[in-house]
Amino acid sequence: MTVRGYAPAFAEQIFSQIQGFGEYGFPESHAASFALLVYVSAWLKCHEPAAFLAALLNSQPMGFYSPSQLVQDGRRHQVEVRPPDVAISGWESTLEEIPGAAQPAVRLGLSRVKGLSAEAAARLVETRAIKPFASIDDLTRRAELTAQDMQSLAHANALLCLAGHRREAAWEVAAIRRMPQLLRDAPIEEVPLRLPAAPEGQEILADYRSMGLTLNRHPLALLRDKLRAMNLSTAQEMAVFADGKLARTSGIVVMRQRPSTAKGTLFVTLEDETGVTNVIVWPDLVDKQRKELLNARLLTVYGIWQRQGQVTHLIAKRVVDHTPMLGELAVASRNFH
């Protein structure tokens, strides 16, 4: 700048301003790239929601959203999601055409099964390509799966095609015998035991333990009668509330954010069977109810509904930890600072 005739003091002033902006500002190229990514992502989610969901599931772990949140959102947008299945699933989630439907279904991959290694899944898929599995015993022997592998598949209900529902599969897997090498290929023929299926609540608990998500009803759907008795609204019901209306809701805590630039404000995302609610907790309430805000898995919020156009939030005035209502349900939030 001095070569071009600008005064040194002016050049120093400009340099100081650029230096200050560089600490927090994004260059134009970064902004343009981000805008393109947002546009393409929004287009895919709108026009190809099944492919969008499958791609995000296959990119885990990533970003703010857990597989459970992604699946719940996909299903709320009419995407059919199918469970992992040893007769069909690969390691990653895939798309399956639905005759006459505009969108394919998403088949969850074996990667969603907790406790199943990628190596074991690869052997399963490779062996299945040669010949479909005829039974639990056939799968175990030909794919050389361990007892742990088989238990993981049974707990995730991925053996439905070979052994029936989760309880029957777990019973059959528990009976697997390790044969001497001489008898390794000798078939085992036994009349399968018929057991009653587990109640829906237990199925949901097992889903979360084995996959971190459920394709059954959302857990809060089972609690809705109790929540109604407490005069708590759903996310869907609050979506039409007017600005300034008193509101109360309860949801599973799926995300907490407390960015340093927010000066102590905590942002909490709650999920119920109808959608999500974004909650803003001002610093004074954070200090007053820190234990509930940081530890609750099921959080009830009493506050004031805030609306600006289509953007809505619940401004928290009081919170209650209702985690005991979830029983043994294993859910965890994603926390960011």
Q: What is the pLDDT along the chain (337 residues), one digit of tens a residue?
A: 888 888 888 888 888 877 766 665 666 777 788 899 999 999 999 999 999 999 999 998 887 789 999 999 999 999 999 999 999 999 999 999 999 999 999 999 999 999 999 999 999 999 999 999 999 999 999 999 999 999 999 999 999 999 888 888 888 888 775 544 444 555 556 666 676 778 889 999 999 999 999 999 999 999 999 999 999 999 999 999 999 999 999 999 999 998 888 889 999 999 999 999 999 999 999 999 999 999 999 999 999 999 998 899 999 999 999 999 999 888 878 777 6
pLDDT of residue 290: 94
Radius of gyration in angstroms for the set of CA atoms belonging to the chain, rounded to a whole number: 26
Going from the N-terminus, what domains does the chain have, and what CATH number goes with each?
28-107 (no CATH), 111-211 (no CATH), 219-336 (2.40.50.140)
pLDDT of residue 191: 60
Write 324-328 long-range contacts (CB < 8 A, 24+).
325/223, 325/226, 325/298, 326/219, 326/252, 326/297, 326/298, 327/201, 327/205, 328/205
* Contact yes or no for 71/213 (Cβ under 8 A): yes
* Contact yes or no for 92/109 (Cβ under 8 A): yes
Q: Record the tokens describing residue 209, joined without a space.
A: 């333990």
Half-sphere exposure of 104 (CA within 13 A, CB side): 14
Kindly tell me the number of DSSP H helices and DSSP E strands found in the chain: 14, 9
Q: What string of H, E and C letters represents the secondary structure of 59-101?
A: CCCCCCCCHHHHHHHHHHCCCCEECCCCCCCCCCCEEECCCCC
- List of residues 6+ apart from 249 with CB closer than 8 A: 232, 233, 234, 235, 238, 270, 272, 277, 300, 301, 314
Residue type, 228: R
Q: In whole angstroms, give the CA distance from residue 110 to residue 153.
A: 9
Phi-psi region of 100 (alpha: psi -120 to 50; beta: other; left: phi over 0): left
Handedness of CA 52, 218, 161, 86 (dihedral sign): positive
pLDDT of residue 176: 73
Q: In whole angstroms, give the CA distance from residue 140 to residue 147.
A: 8
Which residue, among 69, 121, 72, 63, has the nearest Cα to 92 in the 3D structure?
Answer: 121
- Burial readout 20-44 (b: 16 or more C-beta within 10 A, e: otherwise): eeeeeeeeeeeeeeeeeeeeeeeee
> Which DSSP symbol is given to 236?
H
pLDDT of residue 24: 59
- List of residues 6+ apart from 230 with CB closer than 8 A: 250, 300
pTM higher than 0.75: yes
- List of residues 6+ apart from 102 with CB closer than 8 A: none
Q: In whole angstroms, give the CA distance from residue 121 to residue 152.
A: 11
* Contact yes or no for 292/299 (Cβ under 8 A): yes
